[in-house]
Structure 1
């Protein structure tokens, strides 16, 4: 056995929940140890949110240049089509990841957090062994005893037994590091992960098809928000097979053959060069000794209370491990809170709303309740909607022609804002203002009474609120 460590706080996982928890604990003077098997930053930074947004940016830039090459536009002419080098794009993406991962390491060092790299295995709720890269070598193992344990192991890509990963059947992780572009890509799953990735590849000139078992894409968002995305897919010739099940796959020298079936129709085969399985994510509960910790479960998730306490004393769990929404910013907020509770502060995780963003074409933002969700709770509501097509700043950025809008949902009696949604180019940048409005308990009159700078896209927000009050100015 190698080193033995006793620590006040042990954080398992160096993702956006774990590293934030560790940094805050260190700032509060707690002796803190963080264990991470991979690079610091977790799935979001290393193989999820950040690299996928980098690829989306590259794809959008390339598609814009293609448009200028095809015909003069905005006074810009290109004498030849742009050339695309996937290897260079991946290198640029990796450079961003490297910079951010290194930044996390620096922040942990600044907070005096001890970082142990390796694979953790718990023998009981407060004791674990960390194995080094060679795994079985005794002197590469570290024994850790902790007073408090924060579980932040995140999630992993969900798989389908009939579509085993390997070869040309890939997850989003492999899709972000391809050596060359496939000519044909089939994406199984038309949720936010599949659509973000598939649309990016379509912009790069790949022939993309989606296979979705449900009867609509992006089923967690209401139909009005999804409609502009559906229109983009149709306009760009991206096929979407709805109510279609993936039955099995065969790989050969010529690529991949996916067998699918829609309803009672006869099965058919979709041929492609790469098959991307993007059916969602599941909590990472396997292979590190969770079963030895005697914590209660809530289905596939670890059960926690409003302070992220598990059923085991001084064992905490945060992020994707504890349930929906499985979002990085939720994990970070929970990590910060748990560190403060351990340090003796009074905190609870009781957000009024958590923003969800889908980086499709166009982007979708949803905070709080949709109109349908509010009515399902038997709430009397008023709604207001304002199109980006009537916003000057949107038009100057070519962001007003995709059918996008901002929508506000408020209680009819008090005018308290209980939901805000938007769809459109650059809409993700409004998510913070939307979340703040609901978190602060704003009413429609608060939104209208806040003077928004002109010309900015944020002006659509008070216009939507005015529409809910019956007197929008610019429509």
Structure 2
């Protein structure tokens, strides 16, 4: 390997170009400070290239196919039951990904951020080496932001292979699997499992817990379970995978349900049992004394400062849900701190979203946690059953549920299950963040006919119960 003598100094060095990394880099650079961002793989990180964006593109295509299939079945004299050309579907996905990746590069360029390709390794707490194919570049910095993201966890003693897939490989299959086993019923497993079921795969979901999507209340999960069952998805809970045997053209999955041994055959197994923070390996956090938790997360304070106050950590490598919008929020806090503001973290209103069918979204602490804190609450729920917009979309399943303080009427939490729940939750996240009351929601004029009118009806239900209390 050649060794360049190139040495430079920047005000802020960002390691990792995912949503957290590129956001903090751009925000700091906009103030005129010298900023460089290091990326060893693809600009935009996992979210842009192999996670959020490609998965949502494929999910959108599966919705289109299902709608076309249903329309043909309902209105055409001669229905055509043809599976989609998945190679063409993948081309659509790649076009979306390329557009988003180009957008990230443009944002960084216009903000004055220098992009450096290579793998960063700490030499000291003020210097890193960037290892490239034929050279090593040394960069000194005043501030550093580590945003290296996370990776999929494999089953014990069962590494990812040609037929045992992480979400990354599952998003790049050339053909629709005839049979797919999804190990893990969290949001990634449900989103991708349902997407392939809509495309025509025979899907089995094996979840070790008592329910799929365990982070959500049972009433939110039921509409999603109903849709999965309509697509003949086999959901098995309390299911523990013992072994996956890979053969030339298929796999055999051996598992136990309530102690009973079972076996299933499939073309692929998709493993979605969680993600591991990218804090190990050659980056050298231990070399400079960065403190980690037992699970490998970087320990940070309320401003995302590590044990070294000029080095920050954000995104999947710090504790909390592995969400792109959480990383972006943290990036804005860190950018504020670096730019001289006294910004601190406040996780009061981070929305959780599952891009299932129907979608699930929530914000704020759930009822059980609020009650455990001694907070008196009142709830109100309204369904989409008679909503005009939902009827026009033929998507009347689901509801909006609000949780408010019994005396104050302040909105404390909200949950939605319906088509476009991912968009509707933002209004309620803002209300929680601002400390708005349910009466404030009622007094806000909502357009007609829209799905958002159900938010108002839920607020009215909640307000009526507050008045009776």
TM range (shorter): over 0.9
- Report the Cα distance in structure 1 between the residues aligned to 2:20 and 2:418, rounded to whole angstroms: 29
Work out whether residues 257 and 272 of structure 1, in 8 Å CA contact, stay in contact via their aligned partners in 2. yes
Aligned length: 461
Measure the CA separation in 1 of the matches of 2:159 and 2:448.
52
SS in 1 for 2:368: helix
CA RMSD of aligned residues (A): 1.5
2-structure distance, mates of 1:65, 1:77: 14
Is contact 1:45-1:100 (8 Å) kept?
Answer: yes
SS at match of 2:241: strand
Residue from 237, 255, 258 that aligns with 1:260: 255
Confirm or deny that 1:225 pairs with 2:223. Answer: no
Aligned to 1:328: 324
Q: Distance in 1 between matches of 2:11 and 2:78?
A: 61
Gaps of 5+ in 2: none
Query: Superposed, which structure 2 residues align to 1:104-143 within 5 Å?
Result: 104-132=104-132, 134=133, 137=134, 140-143=135-138
Aligned equivalent of 2:420 = 426
What displacement does 1:293 show? 2.3
Say whether 1:390 aligns with 2:386: yes
- CA offsets, 1:261-287, max 9 Å, x none? 11222x221110011001121211122
Residue 158 of structure 1 is matched in structure 2 by: 153
Contact preservation (8 Å) 1:355, 1:365: yes
- Which residues in structure 2 correspond to 1:164-183 (within 5 Å)? 164-183=159-178
Matched, 1:359 2:355: yes
For 1:258 and 1:378, the matched residues in 2 are separated by 46
What is the TM-score when the length of structure 2 is the normalising length? 0.96
C-alpha change, 1:78 and 1:380, in structure 2 (3 Å) is farther
Note the 1:43-58 alignment, pairs <5 A.
43-58=46-61
Taking the TM superposition and a 5 Å limit, the aligned residue runs for 1:63-102 are 63-72=66-75, 79-102=79-102
For the 8 Å contact 1:14–1:35, the answer to whether it is kept is: yes
Question: How far is the alpha carbon of 1:77 from its aligned partner?
Answer: 6.1
Q: Which piece of structure 1 moves more, 7-16 or 235-244?
A: 235-244
Which one of the candidate residues 373, 376, 392 is aligned to 2:372?
376
Gapped regions of structure 1 (runs ≥ 5): none
Is 1:405 the equivalent of 2:399? yes
Of residues 433, 436, 451, the one that matches 2:430 is 436
Match of 2:44 in 1: 41
Contact preservation (8 Å) 2:378, 2:465: no
Q: Residue 62 of structure 1 contacts residue 82 of structure 1 at CA under 8 Å; is this kept in 2?
A: no
Taking structure 1 as reference, are residues 260 and 416 closer, same or farther at Cα in structure 2, changes over 3 Å only? same
Counterpart secondary structure, 1:65: helix
Residue in structure 1 matched with residue 310 of structure 2 by the alignment:
314
Q: How big is the shift at 1:245? A: 0.4
**Deviation (angstroms), 1:79:** 4.7
Q: Report the 3-state secondary structure (helix = DSSP H, G, I; strand = E; otherwise coil) of the residue aligned with 1:8.
A: strand
Deviations 1:314-350 (CA, angstroms, capped at 9, x unpaired): 0001111111121111111111221221121221112
**CA-CA distance at 1:200 after TM superposition:** 0.1
The Cα of 1:150 is off from its aligned counterpart by 0.3
1:21 to 18, 21, 24: 24
Which residue of 254, 275, 298 corresponds with 1:302?
A: 298
Note if contact 2:306-2:312 (Cα within 8 Å) is conserved in structure 1. Answer: yes
Q: Hey, what's the Cα distance between the residues in 2 that align with 1:275 and 1:239?
A: 14
